[in-house]
Amino acid sequence: MNKQKIIILFTVFVDVLGFGIVIPILPFYLGEFGAKPLTITLLFSTFSFFAFLSSPFLGALSDRIGRRRVLMASIFSTALGWFVFASAVSIPMLFLGRIIDGIAAGNFTTAQSYLVDISKSDKERTSNLGILGATFGIGFMVGPLIGGLLSTVSHAFPFYFAGGMALLNGIFALFMLPETNTNLNTEKLKYDPFLPLTRAYKSEKLRPIFIVWFIFSISFVVMQSVFALYAQIEFGYNAFQVGMFFTIIGVVVAFNQTVLLKRFWLRRFSEPQLQKIMMLILFIGVVLLGMPSMIFFFMALPFLGTGQAVLRVVIASRAAGYAEATTKGEIMGITGSIMSMAMVFGPICAGFLFEYHHTAPFITASVLLLAGFFYSKSEK
């Protein structure tokens, strides 16, 4: 594996590491500030709102000025955001840290575009995106584990660690990451976060893909936003135990994307078929999770890991395959933008639904996934 790919994968790993750290620890960290559950979900939404604004812009910008410059700015801003968040002395300062990180949320989509740039065939593109997804899974696996262990020092310490890792990553990338975008887009860049979405919706080929991606995103975010609270209130699990559950899901994600994706899923099924299958698998997982039973809770974890692992890669690969050479960064940015939009509204909805009934978010997510499955079946 060349050094370019290693740096890109490390960039995604650090990004997801911080994300993996924050999810299980956030309810306990914010408890020190006297925050209520709705405040926790609003914090998720704030990050996502600014990520929604920045992701398509940064993706399109990387088409025009190159991947390297955008990655540099995003990585160092991520480090700053984590340091502000970790050193917060008030709830507004916590929000400021997440805003800074949200503005820098072009890391993942630009990294996707970078790997697409260096791919020499469709199969290599899908394989590279699979490796990227596996790195996502490993970061999501290790992040909660590291967060749980470091939280024994203090609930803020894991976030200092995430900031330090991002800073180190930025230094490595600064000296070792070359530019790969040789098809610079010369069109004038106009900032409108909704314009790329409008363009994608008008595309007959891209529209079905992005509709499924949005359904997956909103249902996954609704479920994930209250996962830690649900495990804490319904079963009495602590931060370290919740972190271990996310680690288990991360193991399943990594196994699917490093072993099963290439050796089983892509050999036996086409990408459109996998899209349908994974929507159904996710539906089963969320239904099991929403049943207030510890047995069903544990049974849900492999379904959740498998479904998201394969579906993320398949949709990213299909979207990149339909994109023009000069707009691949923008299309990858759109996938991030759709996820960010879902993460703006999803946590807020999840917070209100959770206050109504602890299982209501999971019922809602399962209905959405079932709708996504039937929509995928009708796709031609």
Q: For the chain, how many residues are written?
A: 380
Reported as a single tens digit per residue, the pLDDT across 322-361 is 777 777 767 777 787 788 778 889 999 998 899 889 899 9
3-class state of residue 178 by DSSP: coil
Tokens of 277: 């299958």
- What is the DSSP annotation of 23-62? HHHHHHHHHTTT--HHHHHHHHHHHHHHHHHHHHHHHHHH
The whole-model pTM stands at 0.76
Residues of the chain scoring pLDDT < 50: none
User: Would you put residue 38 in left (φ > 0), alpha (ψ -120 to 50) or beta?
Assistant: alpha
Token pair belonging to 318: 């299909």
Going along the chain from its start, the domains and CATH numbers come out as 3-174+196-378 (1.20.1250.20)
Tokens of 304: 């959740």
Residue 196's pLDDT is 63
* Single-letter code of the amino acid located at 352: F
Q: CA Rg, the chain, in Å?
A: 19
Residue pLDDT, tens place only, 110-120:
777 777 777 77
Distance separating alpha carbons of residues 117 and 347, to the nearest angstrom: 34
**Cα–Cα distance for residue pair 75/62, rounded to 1 Å:** 14
* Residue carrying the six token digits 């395959």: 321
Q: Please give the pLDDT value at position 1.
A: 59
Contact between 225 and 364 under an 8 Å Cβ cutoff? The reply is no
How many CB atoms sit inside 10 A of residue 141's CB? Answer: 24
Cα–Cα–Cα angle for 124, 117, 198, nearest 5°?
105
Report the distance separating Cα 186 and Cα 183, nearest Å: 9
Give me 243's structure tokens. Answer: 């972190």
211 touches 375 (CB < 8 A) = yes
In Å, how far are 1, 63, 286 from 127, measured between CA atoms?
A: 13, 22, 28
Structure tokens at 112: 């996707």
pLDDT of residue 9: 82
